[in-house]
Structure 1
Amino acid sequence: MTAPAQVAYDDVLRVWREADGIPQIEHAWLFDHLMPLGGDPNGPTFEGWTLLCALAAQTERLRLGVMVTSNRFRPPAMLAKIATTVDAVSGGRLEFGIGAGSRPGVPVARREYAAHGFPFHDAAHAVGSLAEACTIIRRLWTEPVPFDFQGHYHRLSGAFCGPKPVQRPHPPILIGGQATPTLRVVAKHADRWNMPGGSIDKAIERSAMLDRLCDEIGRNPAEITRSIVLPVSYDRPRHTRHTIRAALDGGFSHIVLGLGAPYPTGVARWVADSVIVPLSDTITAP
């Protein structure tokens, strides 16, 4: 994962092109913020989906996505169209990540809403809107004729998405978040669930909650892949491997390794050789 903030386009492109040629790295991610979360508050930040489409055109193998799209930024029908375009440009490699949006208690993230003229509703509104958005997007990707949708948060007339995504029935839907209301949306709509950081113990506790919520609606919890974002330490690769091992032992099989900027030369190869390969050797050893 390369957060597209405090970096240049060429920096991100360099890492993604390198990673595209390394089989041990299976997927690559951006984030969806419009202003930096750290460093110079007025530093550069690229829009996630535009950048993702450019990177899709410059790579051939990596699965790719935004970890995760803020449902607060784009109407769901427009987002469905954007995502379909990226899936087409990538040849069917999109992983569709979405979430409710920034939490009210994170001021450094919340400022981007006022700065771009977006309303910032409370958490209940955000989660309710997310649930409807997931329904709308899935229908747009799969239904062959226009439809109307009259929800509490979204209303569409004659909604239709053409072309459909390359992936059928649709790209995998990954929902990020850890609050119980969001996990209810995950239980109903997600193919993957991402735990956005925090301790491994907390992630395991939230995963167990997701299991219970799936049981409540009669869904097999095993249908939802568990994903987690873990930071990479350039100075302490052994520590990074230990954290990944704990996540794997906790049931998280989809590991997103967050790279800190500036990116060292050859960082993707370094991650493969210093983190992934040694860890894989310990997993496969008899």
Structure 2
Amino acid sequence: MTAPMQVDYQDVLRVWREADTIPEIEHAWLFDHLMPIGGDPDGPAYESWTLLSALAAHTRRLRLGVLVTSNRFRPPAMLAKIATTVDIVSGGRLEFGIGAGSRPGHPLARREYDAHGLPFHDAPHAVASLDEACTVIRRLWTEQEPFDFHGTHHHLTGAFGNPKPVQRPHPPILIGGRSSATLRVAAAHADVWNIPGGDIDDVVRRSALLDRYCTEIGRDPASVTRSIHLPVSYDRPGLTRGAIGEATDAGFRHIVLGLPAPYPADVARWVTDELISPRDQHA
């Protein structure tokens, strides 16, 4: 994962092109913030889906996505159209990542809403909106006739998606988050569930809660792939290898390694040699 802030486009492109040549690296990710949430608050930050489309056009093998799209930023029908376009540009390599949006307690994340004239509702509103958005997006990707949708938070008349994504029935849906309310949405909609790493005991508890919610609605918990984001330490790779080991031992098979900027030369090869190959596992 290359967070597109405090970097130049060419920096991100260099890392993705290098990663695209390394089979051990299976997927690559951006994040979805409109302003920096770390470093210089007035530094550069790129819009994720526009950048993702450009990177899709410059790569051939990597699966790719946004970890995770803020459902607060874009109406779901518009987001479905954007994602379809990226899936087509990439030749069917999109992993569709989405979440409720920035947590209210993060001041650097919160300011981007005011700065862009976007509403910022409370957490219950955001999660309920996410649930409806996932329903709308899947229907736009799969249904062959126009439809109306009248939910609590989203209302569409004559909604229809054309073209459809390359991937059928639709791109994999990754839902990110750790709250119990978001886990219920993941149980209903996600092919992949992602959580930030840190306290592995808490991560395990959250995974067990997702198991419970899946069972309650009659879904096999094993049908939801477990994904975790882990920060990379260039200076102490052993710490990162240890975190990868803990995560895989806990049943997480989809590992996203967050690269801090600036990116060293040949960083994708370094990640492979230092973090992936020693454990003979994929990231």
- TM-score normalised to the size of structure 1? 0.97
For the residue of structure 2 that corresponds to 1:105, the secondary structure is coil
For the residue of structure 2 that corresponds to 1:268, the secondary structure is helix
Q: Distance in 1 between matches of 2:63 and 2:201?
A: 28
Gaps of 5+ in 1: none
Q: Does structure 1 residue 16 correspond to structure 2 residue 16?
A: yes
Q: Distance in 1 between matches of 2:263 and 2:212?
A: 40
**Cα deviations across residues 72-101 of structure 1 (Å, max 9, x unaligned)?**
000000000000000000000000000000
Correspondences of 1:1-286 after superposition (within 5 Å): 1-280=1-280
For the residue of structure 2 that corresponds to 1:139, the secondary structure is helix
For the residue of structure 2 that corresponds to 1:246, the secondary structure is helix
**Cα deviations across residues 141-171 of structure 1 (Å, max 9, x unaligned)?**
0000100000000000000010000000000
**Cα deviations across residues 199-233 of structure 1 (Å, max 9, x unaligned)?**
21111110000001111111100000000000111
C-alpha deviation, 1:181, in angstroms: 0.4
Please identify, of 71-80 and 190-199, the stretch whose mean Cα deviation from structure 2 is larger.
190-199
- What RMSD in Å do the two structures reach over aligned CA positions? 0.9
**Cα deviations across residues 91-122 of structure 1 (Å, max 9, x unaligned)?**
00000000000111111100000000000000
Q: Distance in 2 between matches of 1:97 and 1:9?
A: 21
Please identify, of 77-86 and 198-207, the stretch whose mean Cα deviation from structure 2 is larger.
198-207
The residue type equivalent to 1:74 in the other structure is R
Between the aligned residues of both structures, percent identity stands at 74
Q: Distance in 1 between matches of 2:118 and 2:196?
A: 23
**Cα deviations across residues 210-267 of structure 1 (Å, max 9, x unaligned)?**
0011111111000000000001110111111111010000011000000000000000
The residue type equivalent to 1:55 in the other structure is L
Q: Distance in 1 between matches of 2:185 and 2:248?
A: 24
C-alpha deviation, 1:198, in angstroms: 2.8
Q: Distance in 2 between matches of 1:98 and 1:246?
A: 25
Q: Distance in 2 between matches of 1:64 and 1:19?
A: 11
For the residue of structure 2 that corresponds to 1:158, the secondary structure is strand
The residue type equivalent to 2:102 in the other structure is S
Q: Distance in 2 between matches of 1:94 and 1:199?
A: 29
Q: Distance in 2 between matches of 1:216 and 1:103?
A: 27
C-alpha deviation, 1:196, in angstroms: 2.3
- TM-score normalised to the size of structure 2? 0.99
For the residue of structure 2 that corresponds to 1:169, the secondary structure is coil
Q: Distance in 2 between matches of 1:196 and 1:80?
A: 25
Please identify, of 205-214 and 191-200, the stretch whose mean Cα deviation from structure 2 is larger.
191-200
For the residue of structure 2 that corresponds to 1:43, the secondary structure is coil
**Cα deviations across residues 163-202 of structure 1 (Å, max 9, x unaligned)?**
0000000000000000000000000000000002332111
**Cα deviations across residues 16-72 of structure 1 (Å, max 9, x unaligned)?**
000000001000000000000111000000000000000000000000000000000
